[in-house]
């Protein structure tokens, strides 16, 4: 009789009897797994070879802490060495290293500079140059109210940069002195160092405003170089200083000072500008008109004669952006007097080009003639009879 199948691995196996091959193989696998569980790769390379022999040899297992301790001591030594070579920005071992005395001097200089800044007293005039809700300072207000005495004191006590403070519409003290026609204050501001090229909200400098409002005396002060006596009570230099004035500066309408002077028919001021070096042939930014074109458009014969007779650098054949010369513009204006004057002074008598407006008018007249010929002479004047009633029932 055969023994029961389920008892084959029971007591007999425990007593060293017969063990099936599959069960013995499974127990060997479990034993290997339990041994390898301590050798799972952690991803850290300790430098020690984790072979199968190391796990079975007792001597190697005992040596492992020694190897780990040696590795740790090497890492600690490497960290200590690296800590001594971190770059601090100062080459301590270089031939040109900074001496301690130099460091001490540098620290003393910085401390002295800091103490100097703390001890610096504020300018007592500073509160008078704080701006109100409109952006005006006391200097602005003194000039607006034409109080020359107060304005003079404020100008003398002001720092140079305070003279160019702009209010909410971009006006400096120099703009206001021109608008209120106070040439003395204009000169005081220039001597004190005010900048004449500052623009207001419309791009106008003080000289633009002088041309626009015909402030000839203020313009003269703006264009006259500073004398030695004005700059230095005890003169050290011999020649007057030219003001940093840009005569070719446009405002935001594309106008230079010579164009504004021509538009206002201010021959005297235009003479000042040309004498100071302004370009009499410069073109304004919108249509490319020179002062000569502007004078002809306005029919200003005295201004045209001044430009032709007193401005030797005038280019009589200069053209606008539309390609029109001064003579052609005079033809369009039907001004025979200006045409003759230009011809006498050498202008080429060119006929103006046919304008687009005249072409459009001729085309419209031709269309009207065609309609009249088709519908009769009364095509545009006949009464309309109206619509007849339609029975939609």
Give 33 or 1, the one with higher predicted confidence.
33
pLDDT tens-digit series, residues 159-178: 999 999 999 999 999 999 99
In contact, 200 and 235? CB cutoff 8 Å: no
Are 151 and 204 in the same domain?
yes
Does residue 277 sit within a domain? yes
Does residue 37 sit within a domain? no
Cα separation, 173 vs 129, whole angstroms: 11
Does residue 178 sit within a domain? yes
Residue 11, pLDDT score: 41
Its pTM stands at: 0.62
**Where among 317, 335, 352 does a domain terminate?**
352
Residue 95, pLDDT score: 45
> Residue 294 pLDDT more than 80?
yes
What is the CATH number for 334?
Answer: 1.25.40.20
Give 174 or 226, the one with higher predicted confidence.
174
Does residue 40 sit within a domain? no
> Residue 361 pLDDT more than 90?
no
Are 150 and 204 in the same domain?
yes
> Residue 147 pLDDT more than 90?
yes
Domain count for the chain, please give it. 2
Residue 114, pLDDT score: 72
31's CB contacts (< 8 A; 6+ apart) are none
What percent of the chain is predicted at pLDDT more than 90?
52
* Residue-wise burial string across 33-66, b where 16 or more C-beta atoms lie within 10 A, e elsewhere: eeeeeeeeeeeeeeeeeeeeeeeeeeeeeeeeee
- Containing structural domain, residue 270: 246-352
Cα separation, 68 vs 58, whole angstroms: 16
Backbone angles phi, psi at 351, to 5 degrees: -75, 145
> Residue 39 pLDDT more than 90?
no
Are 222 and 254 in the same domain?
no
Give 109 or 390, the one with higher predicted confidence.
109
For residues 316-327, give the mean pLDDT.
96
> Residue 179 pLDDT more than 70?
yes
Residue the block writes with tokens 């106070």: 182
Average pLDDT of the chain?
77
> Residue 190 pLDDT more than 80?
yes
Secondary structure of residue 149 in the 3-state scheme? helix
Q: Please calculate the CA angle 130-135-141 and round it to the nearest 5 degrees.
A: 75
Q: What residues form DSSP beta bridges with 226?
A: 241
What percent of the chain is predicted at pLDDT more than 70?
60
> Residue 274 pLDDT more than 70?
yes
Does residue 368 sit within a domain? no
Does residue 167 sit within a domain? yes
Secondary structure of residue 241 in the 3-state scheme? strand
Are 263 and 335 in the same domain?
yes
Does residue 41 sit within a domain? no
Residue 56, pLDDT score: 44
Are 214 and 254 in the same domain?
no
Are 130 and 207 in the same domain?
yes
Does residue 104 sit within a domain? no
Residue 228, pLDDT score: 82
């Amino acid at each position: 009789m055969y023994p029961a199948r389920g008892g084959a691995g029971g007591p007999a196996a425990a007593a060293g009897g017969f063990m099936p091959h599959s069960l013995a193989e499974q127990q060997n696998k479990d034993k290997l797994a339990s041994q390898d569980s301590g050798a799972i790769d952690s991803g850290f390379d300790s430098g020690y070879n984790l072979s199968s022999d190391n796990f079975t040899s007792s001597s190697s297992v005992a040596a492992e802490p020694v190897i780990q301790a040696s590795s740790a001591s090497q890492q600690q030594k490497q960290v200590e060495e690296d800590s001594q070579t971190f770059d601090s920005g100062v080459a301590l071992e270089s031939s040109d290293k900074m001496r301690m005395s130099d460091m001490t001097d540098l620290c003393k200089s910085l401390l002295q500079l800091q103490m100097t800044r703390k001890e610096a007293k504020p300018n007592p005039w500073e509160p008078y140059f704080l701006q109100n809700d409109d952006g005006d300072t006391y200097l602005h207000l003194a000039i607006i109210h034409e109080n020359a005495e107060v304005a003079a004191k404020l100008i003398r006590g002001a720092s140079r940069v305070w003279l160019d403070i702009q209010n909410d519409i971009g006006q400096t003290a120099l703009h206001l002195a021109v608008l209120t026609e106070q040439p003395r204050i204009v000169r005081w501001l220039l001597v004190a160092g005010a900048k004449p090229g500052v623009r207001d909200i419309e791009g106008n400098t003080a000289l633009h405003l002088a041309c626009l409002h015909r402030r000839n005396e203020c313009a003269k002060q703006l264009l006259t170089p500073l004398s030695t006596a004005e700059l230095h009570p005890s003169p050290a230099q011999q020649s007057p200083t030219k003001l940093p004035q840009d005569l070719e500066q446009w405002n935001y309408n594309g106008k230079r000072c010579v164009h504004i002077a021509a538009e206002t028919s201010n021959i005297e001021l235009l003479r000042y500008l040309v004498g100071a070096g302004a370009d009499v042939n410069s073109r304004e930014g919108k249509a490319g008109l020179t002062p000569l074109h502007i004078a002809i458009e306005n029919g200003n014969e005295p201004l045209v004669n001044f430009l032709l007779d007193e401005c030797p650098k005038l280019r009589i054949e200069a053209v606008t952006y539309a390609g029109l010369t001064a003579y052609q513009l005079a033809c369009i204006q039907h001004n025979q007097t200006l045409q003759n004057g230009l011809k006498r002074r050498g202008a080429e008598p060119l006929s103006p080009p046919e304008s687009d407006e005249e072409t459009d008018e001729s085309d419209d007249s031709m269309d009207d003639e065609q309609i009249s010929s088709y519908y009769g002479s009364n095509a545009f004047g006949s009464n309309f009879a109206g619509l007849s009633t339609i029975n939609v029932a």
